[in-house]
Amino acid sequence: MTNESSSMQDESADRRGEGRTGEQADSATLSNGNARYIHPELSQLAFFDRVLQQAADPAMPLLERLRALCTFSSNLDEFYEVRVAGLKEQCALSSPVVGPDGMTPQAVYAAVNRRVRELVEQQYRLFNDVLIPAMAQEQICFLRRPSWNAEQKAWIRAFFFAELMPVLTPIRLDPAHPFPRVLNKSLNFAVELEGKDAFGRSSGNAIVQAPRALPRVIALPASIAGCQHGFVFLSSILHAHVGELFSGMTVRGCYQFRVTRNSQLFVDEEEVKNLREALQGELPHRHLGDAVRLEVADNCPRAMTAFLQEQFGLGPGEVFSVNGPVNLVRLMHVPDQVDRPDLKYLPFRPGLPKVLREQPDVFRAMRDGDILLHHPFQSFAPVVDFVRQAAQDPDVVAISQTVYRAGYDSALLSSLIEAARNGKEVTAVVELMARFDEEANIGWAAQLEEAGAHVVYGVVGFKAHAKMLMAVRREDGALRRYVHLGTGNYHHETSRTYTDFGLLTCNESLTRDVAQVFSQLTGRGQTQSLTHIWQSPFTLKSQLLAAIRREAAHARAGRKSRMIAKMNVLLEPELIQALYDASADGVRIDLIVRGACALRPGIAGLSEHITVRSVMGRFLEHSRIFYFHDGGAEKVMLSSGEWMDRSLSRRIEICFPVLDPVLKARVISEGLKPYLSDRREAWMMTSEGDYARQPVPEGESAQRMLLAALT
């Protein structure tokens, strides 16, 4: 046992009661077995609440609080596009399905909309009453129409005629002009008119759609704004000048609205002959799916709201009236337009492991031993260099890589294309069904094929979510494999904002496992026994269950037992039950779960030895780390997948060990220990599913400690 893990076991004993409020819950109070689980969607909303609380935290830099507010909106959008859309479909089908938590889809749907309404009201109060006044004190002003002076009105009017009016297409509603198909999440205005148009037709309602190409906040010159950084909402500009779009008519009212639509793609992978072509045909329809939520300005009259509800087929519970812009997510770019470093996080330069500082040749460095990268504290550049050097190295004969999320601009994939053009055997396993990245992945697949690479789309019915990169190099007359495995995506942008681990290795037995997984993905053989890697959908779940049960057996025998798991999501009922059983046997279990968690901690006789915490900081916690004391062997595994059903049974994921003792100690000391001792940004979960933050003024956050230590 390393010193780090010994100290963690001691610390855990001191923290057994963390996360509980009032009387400790008792398993006897949960006589209904379904009450052992929290519904995933409600737990996900608890995570969104923690994001919102970041925006309310005065200890955070002001402009980062605005980003957090926008992130909350973005999270909620996707939640409705996917999760709530799915719930609504179940309700429409009168689905009798009841989950492990005992709730019907109808009950969950109602609870979700109630909770979201509460959160959205908090969000707009925070925006209007806290953030806007705080930014005004820092000379960052959002100018509202009633406060515009003559000079500001003149500048805004000129902007409207030069930049906005030429790209607007007002649609007056009549039998020849039915209600338009409003795009998903677009900004729109419902306009009430009076008078007659050019053809003598009586007035009524009209719809004006704001072009997506235009920003939703417009920066004014400082000399006109009256403050250092002045902004005006696009909606305010259109409200002020909407009459110019309806010459000779009177505008009785103008009300902004926004609809969120079901954005799931419906492609039958088993029926289509060409998945890429089928997906390309389906993508344009994503913006026109069934409506699931309507947001309107709070000044919108009931009659107009009812009219919009009818057009979108929504009920009153699916309408959200907001006090401000209906599309707060578009304010995400405001901090980038404001040159105030003092109101943002301090910039940092990611570090490099010592071996790569001394030896820039990645292949030589890997031959000297495994290399661990801890992002974003350490740079993603070595991974890019690995592929770039492989593409240019005449001794490299083949490169294989999985592509899940890479973005539109990827130096790594550009090097992969270069490798194919250089005549190397390049195989890219591109997951076309990576939600909201389908278009980018289709583009990369086409470019790779044009360069001569072998492009495959994984396995029908199973998303290829594993993160693997392998180069095969000829050395001394034989072929040697070099591999990168990671917990995060091959995406240079998210590598600066997500915490993840990556392992560079040429360990023969581990790289052999990787080669076998690639063979499965390209359809070249049956599943073979892997030496080190736990893989879904084959062995990952069973290996996790076996590891948990081994810890329980150690506890029952009176031996030391300990388990720590860090992940983004914990929902899988069988694994949760195994954790409950292990806790009942006396295993000390600390869970670090960023997002949704269906397990209830701190219940006497059921989960009294389990704590659950969520760490919310500058970076999005993304790494998956599983630690088992394992009778003193201390097994440390890194994984691409979560503990939820789709990751364990409907995705191709890998969970790989850290074999080098020094690197294993690093994962413990960097990826687990700081988070268990975090007294600034950790939220402790109660048995009721609530989260409580109890920051210690002199305490330090895990992320800040790692920034100081590794950059």
Residue by residue, DSSP assigns 181-234 as -PPTT--EEEEEEESB-TT--B--EEEEEPPTTS-SEEEEPHHHHSSSEEEEEH
What is the spatial distance between Cα 495 and Cα 492, in angstroms, rounded to a whole number?
5
Helix 411-421, helix 381-392: angle, nearest 10: 10
Q: Is 172 annotated as a binding residue?
A: no
The CA-atom distances, in angstroms, between 643 and each of 246, 426, 528, 552, 691 are 56, 32, 23, 19, 20
* DSSP states along 377-401: TB-SHHHHHHHHHHHH-TTEEEEEE
pLDDT computed for residue 12 by the predictor: 39
Please say if the pLDDT value at position 1 is more than 60.
no
Percent of the chain scoring above 90 in pLDDT = 76
Same domain, 702 and 596: yes
Shared-domain flag, residues 610 and 659: yes
Cβ neighbours of 315 (radius 10 Å): 9
Same domain, 368 and 463: yes
**504 φ, ψ to 5°?**
-100, 125
Q: Which of 72-81, 119-128, 268-277 has the lowest mean pLDDT?
A: 268-277
Out of 343, 377, 403, pick the residue that ends a domain.
343
Q: Is residue 224 assigned to a domain?
A: yes
pTM: 0.91
On whether both 453 and 494 belong to a single domain, the answer is: yes
Assess if residue 96 is contained within a domain. no
Establish whether 274 is an annotated binding residue. Answer: no
Q: Are residues 441 and 543 in the same domain?
A: no
Question: Residue 449 has what pLDDT?
Answer: 93
Same domain, 627 and 674: yes
> Which DSSP category does 118 fall into?
H
Q: Please, what's the b/e burial string for 219-255 (b: 16 or more CB within 10 A of its CB; e: otherwise)?
A: ebeeeebebebbbbbbbbbbbbbbebbbeebebebbb
Whether 93 is in a domain gets the answer no
Q: What is the mean pLDDT of residues 22-47?
A: 70
Q: Which of 518, 528, 263, 280 is nearest to 403 (CA)?
A: 518
258 is in an annotated binding site: no
444 plus 550 within the same structural domain: no
Catalytic residues: 465
**Which segments within 384-494 are labelled E, that is strand?**
396-403, 425-430, 454-456, 463-464, 468-475, 478-486
State the sign of the Cα–Cα–Cα–Cα dihedral 335, 338, 343, 347: positive
Verify that 636 and 584 share a domain, yes or no.
yes
Q: Is residue 44 domain-resident?
A: no
Identify whether residues 329 and 411 lie together within a single domain.
no
- In this structure, is residue 349 part of a structural domain? no
In a domain, 46, yes or no: no
Report d(CA 205, CA 470) in Å as an integer. 60
Helix (H, G, I), strand (E, B) or coil at 703: helix
| Residue 403 burial class via C-beta count within 10 angstroms: exposed 0-12, middle 13-18, buried 19 and up | buried
For residue 28, is pLDDT > 80?
A: no
| Helix, strand, coil percentages for the chain (3-state, nearest 5) | 45, 25, 35
- Nearest CA to 79 among 332, 292, 296, 308? 292
Going by C-alpha positions, the residue among 65, 107, 91, 49 that lies closest to residue 683 is 49
- Asked if 613 and 607 touch (Cβ cutoff 8 Å), the reply is no
- Does residue 133 form part of some domain? yes
Residue 212: pLDDT band (50, 70, 90) is: confident
Percentage above 70 pLDDT, the chain: 89
CA neighbor of 548 nearest in space, from 516, 570, 517: 570
How far apart, in whole angstroms, are the C-alpha atoms of residue 449 and residue 128? 51
**Is 492 annotated as contributing to ligand binding?**
no
SS3 of 564, please? strand
In a shared domain, residues 494 and 625: no
Give me Rg for the CA atoms of the chain: 27
Is 321 in a helix, a strand, or coil? strand
Note whether 141 and 240 are same-domain residues: yes
Backbone angles phi, psi at 653, to 5 degrees: -125, 155
Same domain, 398 and 477: yes
3-class SS of residue 676: helix
Residue 457 structural domain = 354-532
* Number of domains the chain is built from: 3
Q: Is 406 exposed, middle or buried (0-12, 13-18, 19+ CB in 10 A)?
A: buried
Contacts of range 698-702, beta carbons closer than 8 Å, 24 or more positions apart: 701/615, 701/617, 702/615, 702/617, 702/674, 702/675, 702/677, 702/678
Is 19's pLDDT higher than 50? no
**594 annotated to bind ligand:** yes
- CATH number of domain containing 31: 3.30.870.10
Q: Is 262 annotated as a binding residue?
A: no
* 558: Cβ contacts below 8 Å, ≥ 6 apart: none
The CATH number assigned to the domain holding 178 equals: 3.30.1840.10
Question: Is pLDDT larger for residue 205 or for residue 609?
Answer: 609
Nearest Cα residue to 571 out of 641, 639, 649, 643: 643
pLDDT band at 2 (very low <50, low <70, confident <90, very high): very low
Lowest-pLDDT choice from 157-166, 274-283, 516-525: 274-283
- CA-wise closest residue to 500 among 488, 492, 484: 488
Write out pLDDT tens, residues 464-515: 999 999 999 999 999 999 999 999 999 999 999 999 999 999 999 999 999 9
Of 532, 556, 590, the domain-final residue: 532
d(CA 325, CA 327): 5
> Highest mean pLDDT: which of 95-99, 285-289, 438-442, 477-481?
477-481
Q: Per residue in 531-576, pLDDT tens?
A: 999 999 999 999 999 999 999 999 999 999 999 999 999 999 999 9
What is the separation, in whole angstroms, between the first and last Cα of the chain?
Answer: 28
Final residue belonging to a domain, choices 487, 511, 532: 532
More confident residue, 711 or 506: 506
> At residue 608, does pLDDT exceed 80?
yes
pLDDT averaged over every residue in the chain: 89
Q: Is 197 within a domain?
A: yes
Q: What are phi and psi of 605, to 5 degrees?
A: 80, -5
| CA separation for the pair 236, 326 (Å, rounded) | 12
Note the Cα 655 to chain centre separation in Å.
20
What would the pLDDT profile of 623-660 be if each residue is shown by its tens digit? 999 999 999 999 999 999 999 999 999 999 999 999 99
